Structure 1
Amino acid sequence: MSERTTADDGRTTADVTTVEQLVRQQLAAALGGGRGILEAAVPTVSFTVSWLLTHDLRTSLAVSIGLAVLLIVVRLVQRSSTQFVINAFVGIAIAAVFASRTGEAKDVFLPGILYNGAYAVGLVLSILVGWPLVGFLVGAVTNDPTGWRRDRAMVRLCARLTWLLALPCIVRVAVQYPLYLGDHVGLLGTSKVVLGWPLQVAALLAMAALLGRNATPLERRPVTEA
């Protein structure tokens, strides 16, 4: 069965015939493409690198926030979406508040640890209760928030994709929280870089590999409730 979906800007996307094609389209929109992902990572990465080089909290925060503002200005000049840059700006602003209140550089990383922990818990719970979060991305593009759950193949695929989204968060918390407790700011900074962009790319590549199979027909089969 072929489906035609409509993007948020009103444009009609190409017909899709498999679950993988449908989910791949929506994930690309949700993540903002390569530019959106890169822009979202710049403020955090710039803070980490600056702190590792200078060990100066104010300078590092200034560099990070300055770059975020610059990226927002570029987007505004180009009249393109600022969504992903603003998300990153809000994240580094919250980190700055945490660190400024305590004067501890390690507290820049605390909001990220808390966020990843909460996000991981939410993703895993969504899988365990049979409503994997990625399914709602599918529902957003099909204009049927829960219709995807009537397709067994769709539910299984969305569960696998949700696990792939959760794993980087779980790894970050498992590595960074002990470093935070031990006040190992240098190692926290290094782990932030290593477990940030590279780990996210690895997860996205794994998702792309899974979605690249294009093997699951878009069929509607009732899901039997437990």
Structure 2
Amino acid sequence: MTTSTEPATPAAGDDSLASILGGRRAAVEASLPTAGFLAGWGLSGGEVAVGAVAAIGVGAALAAWALARGRKPRAVLLGVLAVAVAALIALSTGRAADFFLLQIVGNIASALAWATSIVIRRPLLGVIVGLVLRQHGRWRSDPSLARAYRLASWVWVGQYAVRVLVFGTLWLANLPVALGIARLVLTWPLVAACLAVSWWVLRRALPPGHPGLRHPVPAGDQMTGSNRSSSNGVTRER
């Protein structure tokens, strides 16, 4: 008898993380207020107030557009609030680089939250995908899928850690333009890379024959399937 080391092949119609979670549009939109802040700040000769007004204006315009397209008001308002808070922080300190301080703190909190979720065996990647797929926590009954989510969630911890390292270094050096460029580069491109790598980790971690993310297999069913496969293997050897 031989043991296969090939990654699990998703069932027909099974989605990738990118298709399940999406995120490109939200990531791009989240970068626009930053671009507005830097444009206003730069064109005004370094006036933080002008940059703050520009950022809030762009954020408000995006919010109006999103609401007109039927987006959930709560999510839209939270986005505008985040832009407003970032602008107020920069206004209160007079440093353009401080516009990015909220972003740094948010990434630190996210890294800690994702790492904690793995330690307590409730990986956030599983929670989020489970909510999107309306599985009501059924993925936790599948030990193979739960383990795969834990492993893949470390990729997301790494994503936030990279942002904290880059943003933190540039913030300490008081380089607002470099922070803006890093914000653009480390938004959708990094998220896309994270989705691709975590999807690869998930596939590698699932056992051969697993039906995929949409079809959790309870532990009892996995044992039954394993015993059945073992019995078939013994029969073939005989």
Answer whether TM exceeds 0.5 for this pair. yes
Cα distance change, pair 95–175 in 1 and its aligned pair in 2 (3 A):
same
1:27 lines up with 2:21 in the alignment: yes
Contact 2:34 2:180 in 1 (8 A): no
Structure 1 counterpart of 2:141, from 128, 150, 171:
150
Q: Please state how far the C-alpha of 1:95 moved relative to its aligned partner.
A: 0.5
Matches of 1:207 and 1:53, distance apart in 2: 40
Equivalent residue number for residue 193 of structure 2 = 202
Gaps of 5+ in 2: 1-9, 223-238
1:36 aligns with 2:36: no
- Runs (5+) with no aligned partner, structure 1: 1-15
Q: How many residue pairs align between the two structures?
A: 203
Residue 210 of structure 2 is matched in structure 1 by 216
Are residues 52 and 117 of structure 1, via their aligned partners in 2, closer, same or farther at CA, if it must alter by over 3 Å? farther
Identity of aligned residues (%): 29
Q: 1:180 maps to which residue?
A: 171
Cα distance in 2, alignment partners of residues 221 and 49 from structure 1? 55
Q: How much has 1:113 moved relative to structure 2? A: 0.6
Q: Residues 47-101 of structure 1, C-alpha deviation per residue, up to 9 Å, x if partnerless?
A: 2455455533222222221122112222333334455543332221111121111
The alignment yields a C-alpha RMSD, in angstroms, of: 3.3
Q: What is residue 79 of structure 1 aligned with on the other side?
A: 70
- Separation (CA, whole Å) in 1 of partners of 2:170 and 2:27: 26
Q: TM-score by structure 1 length?
A: 0.73
Change beyond 3 A, Cα 1:178–1:80: closer
- Structure 1 position 65 matched with structure 2 position 56: yes
Conserved? CA contact 2:86–2:102, under 8 Å: yes
Aligned to 2:218, the other structure's residue is in SS state coil
Q: 1:98 aligns with which of 66, 89, 105?
A: 89
Query: In the TM superposition, what is the alpha-carbon distance from 1:207 to its structure 2 partner?
Result: 4.1
Pairing 1:11-26 to 2, within 5 Å after superposition: 21=15, 26=20
- Partners of 2:50 and 2:171 in 1: how far apart? 21
1:20 and 1:210 map into 2 onto residues whose CA distance is 16
Deviations 1:179-212 (A, max 9, x none): 2223233332332222233222322333455678
Q: Which amino acid aligns with 1:27?
A: L
In structure 2, the residue matched to 1:9 is none
| 1:166 aligned residue | 157
- Please tell me whether the aligned partners of residues 39 and 84 of structure 1 are also in contact (alpha carbons under 8 angstroms): no
